[in-house]
Amino acid sequence: MNGQNKNDRAGWLKGPPAECSVLPGETQSPWRLVLLGAPGVGKGTQADLLHERLNACHLSTGDVFRAAGRRSDCEQTPAMTAAMDYMRRGALVPDSTVWEMVCERSGCIRCRGGFILDGFPRTLAQAESLKALMENERLSLSAVVNYELPLAEIVSRLSGRRTCEKCRAVFHVTRQPSRAEGLCDHCGGRLYQREDDRPESITVRLEVYEHSTAPLIRFYKDLNLLAPVAATGSPDEICDRTITALQKRLPVKR
């Protein structure tokens, strides 16, 4: 289960007709995973670690939005142009637009190296659409990992997070402090606390998450795909715990 392949994920980040710089080799049973978990549980970190261990590409919808924000309008796909319009107006990107964005990148879902979806699906409608797409391609999810963490720990993680205003690097006031207080180790930029990382905002974010994700958890549990994992401890400990949970599914891995 050790990872070997790395690529720039161009096919995912840019959409068609871009192609990844390195295509994965043949894998007899590629892992196709969905990661669930409240803000602050470390899904992005775990997706990167799992990529190293399983070879499957980390496909983050958040990364797509961030990449699109750095590109000119003429370089964006139709779905991303629509999504960026919603975001510029401060509006939520609707399910239909997010789904169109994923459909533009359906080659990544079919990729023989597998995938680790982070940030999608977020709603029951998105989950049902993904299921229908994969069934049409005669593919199946291997597992849906649900990272679980007590509310107090989530608030502590997010409220202590600080972001560089220049390079967007992330630090934490106690877990990963910068060498010089308030300044980024990488570029010297000022570190600030995002509005949505303030305790009062975190509570609202978690309420929204619980409301939208509870049906997702039931959906995947009914499909016998849900793999709960405690998101406590170091990133490596959590990753080891995830791999153990996935190994238990090997007899039924599809």
**Three-state SS annotation for 134-186:** HHHCCCCCCEEEEEECCHHHHHHHHHCEEEECCCCCEEECCCECCCCCCECCC
Torsion over CA: 152, 201, 169, 19 (sign): positive
Quickly list DSSP for 10-66: HHHHT-TT---SS-----SS--EEEEEE-TTS-HHHHHHHHHHHH--EEEEHHHHHH
Name the DSSP letter for residue 249.
T
Find out whether 239 and 49 touch, Cβ atoms under 8 Å: yes
Beta bridge partners of 148: 230
| pLDDT of the residue at 227 | 96
| pLDDT of the residue at 197 | 87
Pick the catalytic residue: 43, 105, 162, 241? 43
Pick the catalytic residue: 53, 122, 131, 253? 122
* Count of other CB atoms within 10 angstroms of residue 30: 19
Find out whether 142 and 60 touch, Cβ atoms under 8 Å: no
| pLDDT of the residue at 3 | 45
Name the DSSP letter for residue 113.
T
Pick the catalytic residue: 9, 32, 105, 161? 161
| pLDDT of the residue at 73 | 57
Nearest CA to 143 out of 3, 252, 43 is that of 252
- Would residue 122 show up in a list of annotated catalytic residues for this protein? yes
| pLDDT of the residue at 26 | 64
- Cα 243 versus chain centre, distance: 17
Pick the catalytic residue: 6, 53, 131, 205? 205
Backbone angles phi, psi at 169, to 5 degrees: -60, 150
209, 213, 217, 222 alpha-carbon torsion, rounded to 10°: 170
Per-residue pLDDT of the chain (254 residues; tens, 9 = 90+): 544 446 788 889 888 888 888 877 667 789 999 999 998 898 989 999 999 999 899 999 888 887 877 766 556 778 888 888 888 887 778 888 989 999 999 999 999 899 999 989 989 999 999 999 999 999 999 999 999 999 888 888 889 999 999 888 889 999 889 999 999 999 999 999 988 888 888 888 888 888 888 999 999 999 999 999 999 999 999 999 999 999 988 754 44
Pick the catalytic residue: 166, 168, 194, 198? 194
Tokens of 82: 């629509």
- Would residue 194 show up in a list of annotated catalytic residues for this protein? yes
- Would residue 43 show up in a list of annotated catalytic residues for this protein? yes
Q: Give the Cα separation of 210 and 174 in Å (integer).
A: 27
Q: Give the Cα separation of 231 and 219 in Å (integer).
A: 21
What pTM value is reported for the model? Answer: 0.84
